[in-house]
């Protein structure tokens, strides 16, 4: 993905905090599961090229979605983290169906690598 030496921050919040981020930064109401704030965009992207940005995950929503999907919350958390990271490196499923497919493919590969690393 072109990010050999990169840093990101992960912020875990509840639905109340997530709804505030969602409203304040994306102008949308209610909580969502994950929001990514890319640092490699805009006029200050050159200031710290190793900083990818921030991934904000609602643990309340992750718990709810995991229960609905019948999976462990950590598996859902991993999926959301991967989704956020893909946004930080430039993927955007809202741009086109082709981009959505590419993002899903990358997500599956990264999830597989993460599972393998967790089993070692």
Please state, in angstroms and rounded to a whole number, the distance separating the CA atoms of residues 72 and 79: 11
> What's the token pair of residue 98?
């082709």
Residue 22 labelled as part of a binding site: no
Check the annotation: does 87 bind a ligand. Answer: yes
In DSSP notation, 17-79 reads HHHHHHHHHH---S--SEEEEESSSSTTTTT-TTEEEEEEEEHHHHHHHHHHHTS-HHHHHHH
Please give the Cα distance from 38 to 84 (Å, whole number): 9
Neighbours of 18 (CB within 10 A): 24
Question: Is 72 flagged in the annotation as binding?
Answer: no
- Annotated binding-site ranges: 83, 87, 93
Positions at the binding site for Zn(2+): 83, 87, 93
């Amino acid at each position: 993905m072109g990010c050999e030496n990169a840093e990101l921050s992960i912020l875990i919040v509840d639905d109340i905090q997530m709804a505030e981020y969602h409203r304040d930064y994306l102008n949308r109401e209610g909580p969502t599961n994950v929001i990514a704030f890319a640092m490699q965009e805009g006029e200050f992207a050159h200031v710290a090229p190793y900083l990818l940005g921030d991934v904000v995950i609602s643990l309340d929503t992750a718990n709810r979605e995991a229960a609905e999907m019948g999976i462990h919350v950590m598996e859902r958390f991993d999926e959301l983290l991967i989704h956020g990271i893909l946004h930080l490196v430039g993927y955007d499923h809202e741009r086109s169906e082709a981009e959505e497919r590419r993002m899903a493919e990358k997500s599956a590969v990264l999830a597989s690598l993460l599972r393998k690393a967790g089993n070692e």
